Amino acid sequence: MKIKKAAIFFLLLILVNNTFANDGYKLWLQYLPFENKAVSDYYRDYLEHITIAGESATQKVIQKEFEIASEGFFGHHIHPVFSKTTGANLIWVLKTHDLPADTKSKLGPKLDEIKEEGYWLKSFQGKIIITAKTDIGLLYGTFAFLKAIQTREKLENLDLLENPKIQKRLLNHWDNLNRTVERGYAGFSIWNWHRLPMHIDQQYIDYARANASIGINGTSITNVNANALVLTPEYLEKSAAIADAFRPYGIKIYLTARFNAPMILDSLPTADPLDPAVQAWWKNKTEEIYSYIPDFGGFLVKADSEGQPGPHNYGRTQADGANMLADAVKPFGGIVMWRAFVYNEKTPTDRIKQAYDEFKPLDGKFRDNVIVQVKNGPLDFQPREPFHPLFGAMPKTPLMMEFQITKEYLGQETHWVNLATMWQEVLQSDTYAKGKGSTVGKVIDGSLHGYPLTGIAGVANTGTDRNWTGHPTAQADWYAFGKLAWNPDSNIDDIAEDWLKMTFTNDAEFVKTSSEIMLQSHEILVNYMTPMGLHHIMARSHHWGPGPWVTGGGREDWTATYYHKASVDGIGFDRTDKGSNALAQYHPEWKKIWGNADKIPLEHLLWFHRVSWDKKLNTGNTLWTEMALRYQKGVEGARWMQTQWLGLEGKIDEERFEHISSFLKIQVAEAEWWRDSCLLYFQQFSKMSLPAGVEKPKYDLNYYVNFKRNFVPGI
Amino acid sequence: MKIKKAAIFFLLLILVNNTFANDGYKLWLQYLPFENKAVSDYYRDYLEHITIAGESATQKVIQKEFEIASEGFFGHHIHPVFSKTTGANLIWVLKTHDLPADTKSKLGPKLDEIKEEGYWLKSFQGKIIITAKTDIGLLYGTFAFLKAIQTREKLENLDLLENPKIQKRLLNHWDNLNRTVERGYAGFSIWNWHRLPMHIDQQYIDYARANASIGINGTSITNVNANALVLTPEYLEKSAAIADAFRPYGIKIYLTARFNAPMILDSLPTADPLDPAVQAWWKNKTEEIYSYIPDFGGFLVKADSEGQPGPHNYGRTQADGANMLADAVKPFGGIVMWRAFVYNEKTPTDRIKQAYDEFKPLDGKFRDNVIVQVKNGPLDFQPREPFHPLFGAMPKTPLMMEFQITKEYLGQETHWVNLATMWQEVLQSDTYAKGKGSTVGKVIDGSLHGYPLTGIAGVANTGTDRNWTGHPTAQADWYAFGKLAWNPDSNIDDIAEDWLKMTFTNDAEFVKTSSEIMLQSHEILVNYMTPMGLHHIMARSHHWGPGPWVTGGGREDWTATYYHKASVDGIGFDRTDKGSNALAQYHPEWKKIWGNADKIPLEHLLWFHRVSWDKKLNTGNTLWTEMALRYQKGVEGARWMQTQWLGLEGKIDEERFEHISSFLKIQVAEAEWWRDSCLLYFQQFSKMSLPAGVEKPKYDLNYYVNFKRNFVPGI
C-alpha cells in the first residue's frame, strides 16, 4: 500500500484548480481534489468504507453520490466500498429504525426530533452516523455530510440535526414548450420535450441532484403564462418521464394550469369555475394526470393577470377559481398554488395595491390545499421593494413566497449580484402582524399564523448554458434559494462562503475577497440602477438596461413614468394618504417609519414619497445631489468588484475566472450606462448640474433614448 | 523521479474510460489517458520537451493545444516544457525557414512540396519534425501529430506530407439572430449575440479548435435565409469579435447577404443589381464590413428561392446578382458563394431540373471571385439522391459542394447514420464530363476543369447541446466533413475508425463493432425511410418522420405526392424522355445506366422511373414485395445496430453509452414507424398484401396520418 499512498501524494501535489477547463456544470458539487495529502488522508479514512442498509432507488442515488464525490476528491484512486452491515465502517447511512439497538439507545430521545425530511449527522464513537426517518432524509443528510467535507469541517465535531422549516420548496420554471424561457437569461429550456419520454438526458439527473443537495423538493416545469397543451396526453407522458427521473431525489413535478384549458382542449363553452361541467372536466383531467404521475404535486396558476384567463372572466373570485382546482386534486393529495400577482390596467388604482385589495377580503375562503403564492414585493421583482403587504395580512390563508432567482430586473445575465442579500432583507422584514418580531420569514414558515401548509418558490434561473445559469455567480442564487427555503433564517454570509468553497476553492483569500464582493453586490447594483426607492425604470418589454423615459404605449402601469413621475417639481410616487395610500396596506407601525418623508430610510424614499429636487435630506445633500452621488457610488462599486476579482487570478481555473472577468467588464460598462442615462434623463427636470465627483456622461440623452438592441433574450 | 513514475503508473492503472460523466463536449479531442504504462511512457518521451520558435497568436494556440493534450493524456503529471531552440527536444514545431540549415538540407526538396496550408510530419533522426510554410500549416500539423498519438501510431514511422485539395472549406450555419437554428437539431445557436462583443465564450474557442483540427478554414455564421440586420454596425461589431477569436485558428468569417438589404436598411427604392445606387450601396457596405473585419471572407447568398429576394425580382440573372457583390468584395480579396438552389413553384417543370436550367446557360458569365455552391443532389439533401447534374456541366464556372451535416431528412437528432458513406457516394460519382473517371470529387477539387477557385461547404450540425451535435455520433459527421473537405478522396473507413478512437477508446472490439455500425448505417436508414429512389416523403414542414400522404397546401413541389405519384397504376417519378426528362441533364453515359427501368440500379429506380406495383425486378420480386422487404430490412438493420451497440457496455463512459443507447431505442421505434406508415399508405394503391417476413403494422393508416407532435425542432 505504500506505493499507492505515494501515488496519491503526487496526485495531490498538483493544484488541480489551475486547470484550463471548468465550465461550471458541476455547480457546487465540484468535489474538487484536496489541497494536500494531510487533508486528503483525513477524509479518506472515513470515505473508504460506507454502510448503506437498503436498496431503494434513493439509496442507490446516495451510493452513486458517494462514488461521484470520491472520484472528484481522489481521482480514480479511492473507490468507496459499500456494505449493508456496519462492521468497522466509519460512515453509516441508516434510517433510524435500521440503527443497531445499542447505538439507538445511546443516541437517545434526540432521534425523535428528526422529522419527515430531516436528518441527523452525528459523530459518534469515531464514526459518522447519517440517520433519518425517510430515504429522502438520508439523501439530504448525505449531501450535508459531503458539504462538510467540501468546506473542510472537522468531522469529529459533527452534530447537526436539521429539519426543513418550510414544507413545499419549489422551483418555478417559466419555460415554454418551444424551449424559450420567459425572463430566462441562460440560454433555453433544459427540458427537451421532443426527445421525451424515451430519452432522459443526463442533465435532468444532474438537475435533480443539484436540487436535492439544497433541499428543493418540487418543481413546476412549465411557464405560468401557460399553454394548455401541457395537460394533453402528448405532454403528460413526457412530464411523467421527468417525474420518474426525479422521484429518487425527492422532487415532485407540478404543472401550470391554463384556466381556460377546458375551452381550448375540449371546446367547453365556458371555464366558469362554478359550472359543473367545468368542475367535472378538471376532475377528469386531474385523474388522468395522476394516472401518468401518481405523486403529481399539483397545479400552479397565474390567473386574471397580464392576459391570462381567470375567474374574473366569469365574475368569480380568485377563491372560486382556486377552490375548483383544489377540489380536483384533493383526493390525490395534491395542492394548488394560486398566484397573488393579479392586476390589470383597468382598475383605477395604484397597481401595487391591487393584489392586497383582491386577496385580503378572501382570507379564510380558500380550501385547505390551496396556498396563495405572493411575490416578495408588491410590484414585480425590482432591485429593491418593500415587502408585500399581504404578508401578515392573511392569517387564515397560507401564503407562500415567490422569489425570482432569474434576474429579470437585476442586470439579467451579465451582472453579479447576490440575491440572498435582497431575500434576507425581505424575510427579516417585520410585518408587526402579531407585534414586533412578526417577520415575513415567520409568516411563510407558518409559525406566525400556524399555517398547516407552507411553501416557497423561486423562479428558476437555469437554462442550456453550459454552466446552467449564464453568469457563473448566478449559481449562488440557486444555491442560496434552496438554503433559505430550507430555513429562512439561514445566515447568508455562511451561505456565500459555503457556496464559494464548494464551487471554486477553499483558498482563504479567495473566499474572503469573493464573499465581500457578493455581500456588497446588491447595494452596489441598487445604487447604479434604482437608488432611493426608484423602481420600474428599466427598458420596455425586455427590461434590459435603463428606460426612465419609457412612457405611453397602451398600458400606463408598464411604463417608467407611471412609477417615477419625474417633473420639474420633483420625483417619486406618493403612496401616503395624500397619494395612493398604498402605505395603509401595511401595519400602522410602518406608517411611523415610512410615512414621513423626513424620516423614512432613504432606500425607500421615492417608493412612498414625492420629493422636490432641492429637498435637503438627512445626509446633508439635496435629493438631486444624493441621487447623483448614489449612481456614481454604484459605478464605483462595480469597478471595485472588478478590481477585487481581477486580483484573484490564478486562484481558480482559467475558464470560470475569465468568464466572470468578462462579465464584470460588461457590468461596469452597463453600470455607467445606467448612471449616465438616468442622470441625463432626470436632469431635464432637476435642471441642476452634476455634483462634484460624478463623472460626465459619455453621450447625450438622445443617444441613450435611441439606443436599441435586437433580440434581447428572455421575452 | 522513481516515485513520480510510480505515481503515474498507478494513475494509469485505472481505466478512466469507465468514469460516470463524459458529456462529449471535447469531441474527438478527448486526449484520453493511455491504456497502460508502456504506451504512456512511449509517448511521454516525446511530449516532455517541445520546440516552438515563434510567438504568433497561432503558435501560442499550438503550445496551448500541447498543454491540453498532455493534461488529457497524463493528468496533471506531465507538463510539456517549451523552448525556442531545438536542443535535445524530441518535437520540433518549426516553419521550414526556421529549420536548422543542416536539417533543412537533409530533408531536401520534398520540403518544397508543402503548400500554403500544408504541413509535413516527419520522423527524423529520432525526433518528430512538424514543419510548414505558415503558422496555420504548423497548427494543422500539430493536430495531425496529436491524432497520430490518439490513434496510437508508431511515431518512428511518421512521414506525412499533406496539402488540402480544396481551398475554401467552410461550415454554413443556418443560425438565426434569435438563436433558433433552421434545421438545427442540437438545441439552439452557439452564437450568443447578446453577450457579444464583450464576452467571448469559451465555446467559440473550442469550436475554432475543433474546426482547425480537421482543417476547416471558414464559417458562415448566419442563416442563408438571411436577416439584413447582420450587415448593420450592431452586428458587425459582434461578428468582428468572433472573427478576432477565430483568426489564430485560421478560420475566416463569412456572412449571408440578404439581396434586398439596401432597401431594408437604407430604404433604397430597388435592389436591382444593375442599378448604380445599389452597386454603390454594396460597395460602401463592403468597405464598412472590412473596416470591422479586415480578413472578412465574403458573402454567401441564397437568392430567388423559397421566398428570398434576388435578381429575378428585377429581371436579372443569377450572374448579374453575384457579380455585383463580387465587384464589391474584389478589392479586399473577398469571394461570393452563390447558391444554385434556385427554384420556384411557378416554373412548370420538374423542380429538380430548375437549377441546371438556370445556371448552365450562365457558365463563364461569373466574375472570377464567384463560386457557385451546389447541393450534392438536385432535390434537397434526401437520404439518397443521384449527384447534382450541374457537376461536370460548368467547366468555366467554379462550383463548390454543399453538403448538409445537419440531418434534416435523415432522422434529425436521434438517428445514428454515418453521412460520410453518402458523401463518398456523391464524391465518387462519375460525371463523365471528360470521359470516365471525371468524378464529382475532381470537379470540386478543381482538377477536372482547372478551377482557380475551389470550395466545399457543410451545413453545420452544431448547437447548444452539451455534446454540440445532439446525437453523440453526429460528431462523426462534422469530423468526416472536415476530412473530406481536406481531401475528397479520403478513405471513409479510416475516418470512422480514427473518429471512434479519438472520441471514445482504442479498444479494438469497440472500434471494430462501432465502425461496422457506422458503415452500414446509411443503407439501413435509406431502407427504412426511402428505399429504391423514393424521396421527399417526410412529414410537412418539419420533415420529422414519415409523410407520404402529404399533399396540397399551395406548393405542390413541397408535397410528397408530387414526388412519389403513387396510384393504383404504380409509383415513381418518370424523369426519362417520356417524363420530365431530367435525365437529359446528365452526361449521355448516364442515360445508359439510369434510362432503362429494367437495368437501373434499384436504389435509383423510383427517382427516374414510374413502375407498376407488380413489375418483376431483377431480384425476382415484384416492386411491391421488394419495397416491403426493404422497409423490413431497414427495421432489422436498426435493431441490429442496437444489439451491436448494447454489447459494448462498459467499454466507454456511462454517460455517452446511455445517451446513444436511448437514441437507438428511439431510432428503432421510428424505423418501425416509417415502415408501418409508408407500407400502409402505399398498400392503398398496390392493393397487395405484405410479403412473408414483413411484420404487421402496429396501428392503422389513420393513426399514422393523424399522428401530430407539437414544437418539433428545427423550423
Strands B218-220 and B168-172: parallel
Distance CA A675, CA A677 (A): 6
Say if residue B487's pLDDT is above 70.
Answer: yes
Grid coordinates belonging to B652: 466507454
Range in B179-193, B339-353, B609-623, B678-692 with the lowest mean pLDDT: B339-353
Average pLDDT over residues B681-703: 98
A447-479 residue pLDDT tens: 999 999 999 999 999 999 999 999 999 999 999
Q: Give the sheet arrangement for strand A91-95, strand by strand.
A: A81-83, A49-52, A91-95, A127-132, A119-124, A159-162
DSSP sequence for B589-621: HHHHHHS-TTTS-GGGHHHH--B-TTPBPTTSS
Which one of A7, A23, A414 has the shortest CB-CB distance to B7? A7
Average pLDDT over residues B401-423: 98
Question: A380 an active-site residue?
Answer: yes
Is residue B112 exposed (0-12), middle (13-18) or buried (19+ Cβ within 10 Å)?
exposed
Contacts of B162 (CB under 8 A, 6+ apart): B118, B119, B120, B121, B140, B144, B486, B487
Average pLDDT over residues B429-456: 98
Stated pTM of the model: 0.96
CA distance A238 to chain B (A): 12
Distance CA A497, CA A28 (A): 11
Contact B639, B605 (CB under 8 A): no
Contact A464, B188 (CB under 8 A): yes
Question: A306 an active-site residue?
Answer: yes
Query: What letter would DSSP give residue B476?
Result: H
Top residue of B703, B711, B712, B715 to mutate, by most chain A CBs within 10 Å, is B711
CB contacts under 8 A, B 402-461 vs A, are: 413-414
ipTM of the complex: 0.96
Contact B535, B385 (CB under 8 A): yes
Distance CA A18, CA A32 (A): 11
Q: Which chain B residues contact residue A710 at CB under 8 A?
A: 177, 229, 234
A640-691 residue pLDDT tens: 999 999 999 999 999 999 999 999 999 999 999 999 999 999 999 999 999 9
CB contacts under 8 A, A 238-297 vs B, are: none
Q: What pLDDT, on a 0 to 100 scale, did the predictor assign at position A545?
A: 98
A564-614 residue pLDDT tens: 999 999 999 999 999 999 999 999 999 999 999 999 999 999 999 999 999
Q: Tell me which H or E stretch contains B237.
A: helix B233-246
Say if residue A345's pLDDT is above 90.
Answer: no
Name the residue in chain B with its Cα closest to that of A78.
Answer: B14
Q: Which of A304, A327, A408, A425 is catalytic?
A: A408
Distance CA B126, CA A30 (A): 42
Average of per-residue pLDDT values in chain A: 96
Distance CA A664, CA A416 (A): 7
Is B710 within 8 Å of A177 when comparing Cβ atoms?
Answer: yes
Q: What pLDDT, on a 0 to 100 scale, did the predictor assign at position B499?
A: 98
Kindly state whether A49 is in contact with chain B, defined as any CB-CB distance less than 8 angstroms. Answer: no
Band of residue A353 on the pLDDT scale cut at 50, 70, 90: very high
Average pLDDT over residues B507-513: 98
CA distance A33 to chain B (A): 12
Which one of B179, B666, B710 has the shortest CB-CB distance to A199? B666
Contact A628, A691 (CB under 8 A): yes
* Sign, Cα dihedral of A486, A491, A492, A497: negative
Three-state secondary-structure class, residue A252: strand
Residue type, A515: S
Q: What pLDDT, on a 0 to 100 scale, did the predictor assign at position A79?
A: 87
Query: What letter would DSSP give residue B700?
Result: -
Work out the percent of chain A whose per-residue pLDDT is above 70. 97
Residue whose entry in the numeric block shows the C-alpha cell 485558428? B249
Distance CA A357, CA A361 (A): 7
Q: Which chain A residues contact residue B466 at CB under 8 A?
A: 25, 202-203, 466
Top residue of A32, A185, A198 to mutate, by most chain B CBs within 10 Å, is A198
Is A202 within 8 Å of B659 when comparing Cβ atoms?
Answer: yes
CB contacts under 8 A, A 187-216 vs B, are: 187-188, 192-195, 198-203
Q: Which chain A residues contact residue B67 at CB under 8 A?
A: 20
Q: How far is CA A401 from the centre of its chain?
A: 10
CA distance A126 to chain B (A): 30
Question: A408 an active-site residue?
Answer: yes
A249-299 residue pLDDT tens: 999 999 999 999 999 999 999 999 999 999 999 999 999 999 999 999 999
